[in-house]
Structure 1
């Protein structure tokens, strides 16, 4: 992916997993603290030991990138290209130090421009993560299409979709 302002995407390598795991751990744990309370740690399996990034960013058939801003590693993005013009956003993960500054919205615009043939984008996010809902729905234009396991604090998942045409 190219440069847009001071943000660049660089293909993910195995060497990126350790520093990204640190960022991912801080990001998911901060989200859990905000939405579930002090002392909570929560994220998808492998978010805090590198297994998630290895499984979905290195070993899977995905487009995975590190995100750099002003020469500093600030996060990652993983995209899965589906059939018939469908794309699945596996994650956008940003260091909590750069969140709530419009950077995620700029990154989403970069992702959309990278994949102009996308007819529909899909993603999901924990039901408890109200900041993610605001980001995806209000900032990026996704629509809520389903809630899996509604009311279950640990398993509730919001399925989101954005039609491009």
Structure 2
């Protein structure tokens, strides 16, 4: 399992694959498909183009099987996993965990990793908490909004999600 920087020419393909993986997860979690891609093209572009962004393809024997968009703060080393996916045909085989280990190895100075996931995504919650060692540190919902998130009028009423953190033992 290796990581490769995703070049600009990969962004459209990357977005399509990410949206397919997320759609698969939504269908699996709720039994209903969505007409609009999740995340939106603009959300993906914003993440990929952010100044602190590092976008990687996840490769298995040279084949792209997933990807990650990370926010890397070289000063605080408090880094974030903004978007992460493994193609649906490769899910359930331990490759997500291997990819996460490759990300951790690629950023060994990280003190804290942070990510978010919808509360309905039981597979994601299991993955982050039980496989990768994250801890749930906040539960955001209609009554407790993410102070750094979008304004309430831009958030669906049922858009509940967890904020998770992983404190690294090997950070400075």
- State the TM-score, normalizing by the size of structure 2: 0.81
Q: Which residue of 1 aligns with 2:151?
A: none
The alpha carbon displacement at 1:59 in A equals 4.4
The alpha carbon displacement at 1:79 in A equals 1.4
Distance 1:121 1:141, change over 3 A: same
The alpha carbon displacement at 1:116 in A equals 1.2
The alpha carbon displacement at 1:144 in A equals 0.5
Distance 1:36 1:88, change over 3 A: same
User: RCO greater where, 1 or 2, for CA within 8 Å and sep 6 or more?
Assistant: 2
2:16 is aligned with 1:22:
yes
- Following the alignment from structure 2 to structure 1, what is the Cα–Cα distance between the partners of residues 94 and 142? 30
Question: Mind listing any 5+ residue stretches in structure 2 that lack a counterpart?
Answer: 144-155
Question: Mind listing any 5+ residue stretches in structure 1 that lack a counterpart?
Answer: 1-6
Q: 1:120-164: CA deviations, max 9, x gaps? A: 111111111110000000000000101000698731010001111
The alpha carbon displacement at 1:68 in A equals 2.0
Distance 1:124 1:140, change over 3 A: same
2:63 is aligned with 1:72:
yes
| Contact 1:14–1:58 (8 Å) recurs in 2 | no
Q: Which residue of 2 aligns with 1:8?
A: 2
- What is the root-mean-square deviation of aligned Cα atoms in Å? 2.1
Q: Which residue of 1 aligns with 2:161?
A: 157
Length, aligned pairs only? 156
The alpha carbon displacement at 1:22 in A equals 2.2
- Following the alignment from structure 1 to structure 2, what is the Cα–Cα distance between the partners of residues 59 and 34? 30
Partner-residue secondary structure (3-state), 2:15? helix
Partner-residue secondary structure (3-state), 1:20? helix
Partner-residue secondary structure (3-state), 2:84? strand
